[in-house]
Amino acid sequence: MWKLSSGMVVEKKMKEFVLACNFEYPVHSLILDLSDESWKKYFSDQDIAEMMNCNEKDLPALPAELNNFILEARKLPDADSFKQYLKQEFDSTACEWAKDTVLNYIKLFKYQQLPLNHQTEGDILRRI
């Protein structure tokens, strides 16, 4: 069990929340989403800050090619220029992945699948 410096046991508070829910919630799958305002009823601001900073990992730097891909894309003046930019092939697999991800997101927008509030991850993956 995870005991915070305040003496609060996280799993016990999660159980309290589960028992108070009238519908399925991420906490039913042991997912503790601290960005959800509901947790403020169960944890103090200090407890939430402690949990958010626990075992914080430093993210590795982006590959130089991917960073350049993003910087160049941000300089583009309009959607047409961006579209032309995405038509080119990139030598870097990271840049190709980023390009494909952006194009898939544009498809979701084009076919009015956004916002993704009422779809499961499986629904989204089947459409892409």
Tens of pLDDT, residue by residue over 85-109, are 999 999 999 999 999 999 988 888 8
Q: pTM of the prediction?
A: 0.53
pLDDT for 77 beyond 90: yes
- Round to whole Å and give the CA distance between 69 and 90: 9
Q: pLDDT above 70 covers what percent of the chain?
A: 96
> Over the stretch 2-38, which tens digit does the pLDDT of each residue have?
999 999 999 999 999 999 998 888 899 999 999 999 9
- φ, ψ (nearest 5 deg) of residue 21: -75, 140
pLDDT recorded at residue 127: 63
Sign for the CA dihedral angle at 40, 28, 5, 58 comes to negative
